[in-house]
Each structure stands twice: as structure tokens, then as C-alpha cells.
Chain A
């Protein structure tokens, strides 16, 4: 996550401000549905692979209807993949029990659970990102606050979100100025790091002070007020119930297996 990381946050922010049928669904409904999705996916057995594939319908449908560019999300999932691979790749090493055979090739349980880990990772990560990209930070935080998140934590998330661009740009400028003056090819030296980050900290604290004075000047009295989000409608309830029904069906019956056996029965 290089120093341009905070720019990514801005890109997601832009996507969150688009308008589409998915964007108009209430943030609480989407959060609850995503929560159910994650629980359903993670509750499968270790080596379940085929039954996971129908779950891709949820993020893909939201992406298509929400006008999220698919390449963008796929790239982010791939960028985050190395950790899942690093953790999962021990499974084929430690679990060599053969699970089934395709022709002359026997597949061990370890490879199955590795594939399962990768699928689960892709599913949960894309669901989380689609949630943010289709909702936007403000509506999401407002929805979370309605669901019981402590107000100070909601406010903290919104402030962090608001100032990560400002402080990030400041940090980028500072690092670039050091690079220009020192022809750096690698990371900073430790002594320089201490004073650079220390300076960034001092500037951040001074900025916080200015922000507080600006809030006081605009009438801040210690009480944080959050804008009320849109009301929960029947269509939002239908959204949650419909997807929950699909998750339940896909969890308890192996839909991919059913489809496969239907097709092979039709062929033979």
C-alpha cells in the first residue's frame, strides 16, 4: 500500500456518490445482507468448493446494477490476494489425504481446502468492497449509527474519512520533498524518518487545533448531530429477505452440483 493509498479511498468515495437502483437501497439493508452473506460463506465446511460458486451472484449482481467497473474491483481483490495464498498454501502441504480422483489424477483434501480458502477470500472481500462502493461512507456510517454503533465511533470514522485526504496529501508532499533533495532510491533513513513523521504529527495536531476552533466558531457546543438517513422502505425489506432466501438455499443445497447433474443428465 504505497503512499498513494489514500487516493484509492477517494476513488471509492466517487463510486459511492453515483446513482443506481443499488445505491438507493437503504444502507442498513445492504449492511445486514452483506453480514448474512459473510456468515453463510464462512459457515461452509473446510473443503467445500463447488457449493461456494453460486454465492458469486451477490457481488456480481450488485456490481452490474450499481455501475461499478468490474476491472477496478477485480484488481483490488487480486492485490489483496497474496496474504490468503500465503496462509492457505500450507494446506496442501499438511493434508495429503486423497479426496477424489479425476481420471488418473488424485486430488488431496489439502488442495480442496486451499481452493476453498481462496474462493471464500474472493467472495468476502468483493462483498465488502461492493458494499462500500454502492453506499458511500456517509450513508454507511449513518446506517451503522442507527444500528447501534456508538456515536463517537461513527463520528471518528467520518472525521478519519474526511481528513485522510488532507493528511495523506501532506505526507506525500513531505516525502517527495525529501526525495527531491536526497535522490533517494529506497526508503528513508531512520533519522530522517523520525523527524519527517514527527513533523507530520506536529502539523496534524496543529491542524486538529484549527479544526476545533473552526467548529467552535460555527457554534459547536459539544453535542455531535448526525444527519438522519432516508427511511427504511418496503423495497429495502424485500431486498434483505430476497437475498437471505437465496443465501439459505445456496447454503443448504449445492446449487452448482444440482445444475451440473441436470446438465449431465440432459447430455446422457
Chain B
């Protein structure tokens, strides 16, 4: 999964190098203040270990192919995020310089894709949350697979984004995305299983060594960090992923279409239905998750859609209206949920 220089423009490569430099400096500062002398040789030797382990393959039953450990999550479990990031950066650098595995310009990208996400996102938010302090058992295996999946999906997605932003490869965005994400789903499972296998072995043989290397350099899972992370993910999902929502009819619309020949049943023309539909028409700021369009003849948005305009929509539907609808919807939901939580807490305190 190492990116080659061939895919990156100097602008994107330089920007990612700057990010790598910033994160490295941050990790170095963090470690300096809490540096235990024995962490230095431990980091070096574990780097050599990951390097070696990446060359040992195990066969995946049923597929005839083999897999190997990537090492990002494993290092973070053993050393904590800051040290693990630096160790991974060193392993990737040696691979780039000695084996041409990834180029010089794209080394910054590779370090972020393969090192940042497992260490600073997957480990604190997924692994720690599920595994707590488990040394063995279903908890450990589940946490490991989940964290590896998340880390690799994020890494693969940033590869696609960086390639797209560079504009060098002729591969279209959707095709590349549809190629990368499913493959890395499988790779993520393999990575999670391999990591769990090794960690559980060490946990059974010498459990005290699992915690000792990490010492006090763990990232405390602060509420602020989790909230920021969730907010960021919501923005990306609402703002960008909404373009990829399927334009095909959902289950109910499909069933109705099969029964009645149209996707939506025309409502009754009088009484309560009409009154409520009028209210909805007035209050809906972003009808059908897009900006309100003034159709010819003054028809409402819903009628224009029912006449089969959907079939001509392109996918992904990159529209500003959809982005705004996604972000606004997310924000409103967040505010309402917080208010609900405050209300519940107030009732609990009163009652």
C-alpha cells in the first residue's frame, strides 16, 4: 500500500511532508518530557522486529494467498501512540531508501497514511475503547480487528484523496475508491487477526511485558478528543459522502413502484393529508436533500421528482445543495441530541 512518487504532485507531497514533520516534532517533544532511558533501545529493536515480521507470511486458509503483519497497530499497543508513530516513520523511511518501496516525495504521505491513523485514531478511539486492558480473549481479538479495519480504511481513503488532489494518475475517483476500500477491508481483517495473534501470545506467555514498554506514555482518551473526532467524521460523512448516496429507489419506493407503477403514491387531494403536506412544503428548507428548485408551472418539488427526473441523475451527485443539507442535518441532529441529553439530566436531578 506504499504510494509511489508517480502518483503525487509536488504540492500534495510537500503538504503531507509538512504534516509529517509537524506530527514528528510533536511526538518528539512529548516523548522528551516523559522519556524513560530504556524506551530508546526498545523503540529501535521493535522497529527492527516490525521490519522482520513484515517479511514472515502466513497462509490464509481458503484463498490460497498469504498475508503478513503491517505493524502499525501492534507498535501502538506495545509502545503507545507517540513512540509508535516515530518507529513506523523510521521503518517506512528505511523501506523507501533501501527497497524503493514508496518514493521520497511520497514518504510523507506514506507515514501519515500508514502511521498516523493506526496510532492516533484507531488505537485510542477503537482499540482502547473495546479492549480496555484485555490480554487475551474475544475482547482483544474484536478490538484488534475493529481497530485495524478502521485504521486501514482511513489510510486507503487518504491514498485516494491524495491521488485525486495530485491529478497525475488518470484513474477516476470513483473507480479508485471502489478498488481501494474493499481490498483494504480484507487487508484490515488480516492485519487485525495477525496483531491479535501476536499480542495474545505475549499476553499469555509474559503479560507484564505488554504494559511495561508503554509505561506512562499512553494517550488519555479525553472527551474533547472523542467529540472532535466524531464531529470531523460527521462533517465528512454529511458533506462529502452524501454525494455517494444511491439514486436508486429505496426498499419501500421500489415495492410501491412494483405494485402501483409509480415510486410515490399520490396523496389524497383533500383534508388532513393536504393540510399537513402544505405545512411540510413550507417548512422544508432543503427539500429532498437539495436546494429548492422552482419547477416550471409552479409545481412543487415533490411532483417534479415523481415524474421520473431521478433516472437522469448522475452518480456521485456532487451538488452544493446536498453538502449543505448533509452538514445542516448533522448540526441540527447534534444540537437536538445535546438538548435531549441536557433535558434528561435535568429530569434525573429533579426526580
Contact = CB atoms under 8 A, between A and B. Distances in A.
Interface of A: 1-3, 5-6, 8-9, 12, 34-35, 38-39, 42-43, 46, 76-77, 79-80, 83-84, 87-88, 90-91, 93-95, 110, 113, 117-118, 120-121, 124-125, 127-129, 131-132, 150-153, 155-164, 166-168, 170-171, 175, 186-202, 204-205, 207-209, 211-212, 215-216, 220, 222, 224
Contact of A167 (B52, B59, B205): B52
Contacts of A131: 97
Interface in B39-60: 40-49, 51-60
B89 interface: yes
Contacts of A220: 37
Contact of B59 (A118, A186, A195): A186
B206 A160 contact: no
A195 B31 CA distance: 31
B8 interface: yes
A6 B197 contact: no
B338 interface: no
B4 A160 contact: no
B45 A117 contact: no
B249 interface: no
A124 B103 contact: yes
B51 A164 contact: yes
B28 A153 contact: yes
12 contacts: A35-B104, A38-B5, A39-B10, A94-B171, A124-B105, A161-B94, A167-B48, A167-B52, A190-B61, A194-B198, A197-B197, A215-B37
B41 A198 contact: no
B4 A83 contact: yes
Given A39-B105, A124-B104, A200 B94 contact: no
Contact of A159 (B6, B13, B41): B41
A22 B350 CA distance: 80
Contacts of B90: 153, 156-157, 160
B273 interface: no
A118 B2 CA distance: 16
Contact of B41 (A35, A186, A208): A208
Give 6 nearest A-B pairs by CB, closest first: A159-B44, A198-B201, A194-B197, A80-B100, A150-B28, A193-B58
Interface of B: 2, 4-10, 13, 24-25, 28, 31-32, 35, 37-38, 40-49, 51-61, 66, 69, 86-87, 89-91, 93-94, 96-101, 103-105, 167-172, 175, 193-194, 197-198, 200-202, 205-206, 209, 213
Given A124-B105, A192-B58, 15 more contacts: A3-B52, A42-B13, A46-B168, A84-B4, A90-B171, A121-B4, A125-B5, A128-B97, A132-B98, A160-B90, A166-B48, A168-B52, A190-B193, A208-B41, A212-B40
B55 A164 contact: no
A208 B5 contact: no
A201 B202 CA distance: 8
Nearest to B57: A187
Contacts of B100: 76-77, 79-80, 125, 128-129
A94 B96 CA distance: 29
Contacts of A152: 28, 31-32, 35, 40, 86
Given A193-B58, A196-B56, A132 B97 contact: yes
A163 B44 contact: yes
Contacts of A199: 201
Given A121-B4, A190-B197, A204-B45, A2 B51 contact: no
B241 to A, nearest CB: 24
B168 A117 contact: yes
A202 B2 CA distance: 28
B41 to A, nearest CB: 4
A95 B86 CA distance: 40
Contacts of A87: 4, 6-7, 169, 171
Nearest to A190: B58
Contacts of A46: 167-168
A75 B198 CA distance: 34
A188 B41 contact: no
A125 B103 contact: yes
Nearest to A196: B56
A188 B101 CA distance: 24
A203 B337 CA distance: 51
Nearest to A41: B5
B98 A193 contact: no
A211 B46 CA distance: 13
B49 A200 contact: yes
B134 to A, nearest CB: 16
A197 B5 contact: no
A198 B194 CA distance: 10
B45 A205 contact: yes
A151 B32 CA distance: 10
A157 B93 contact: yes
Nearest to A204: B49
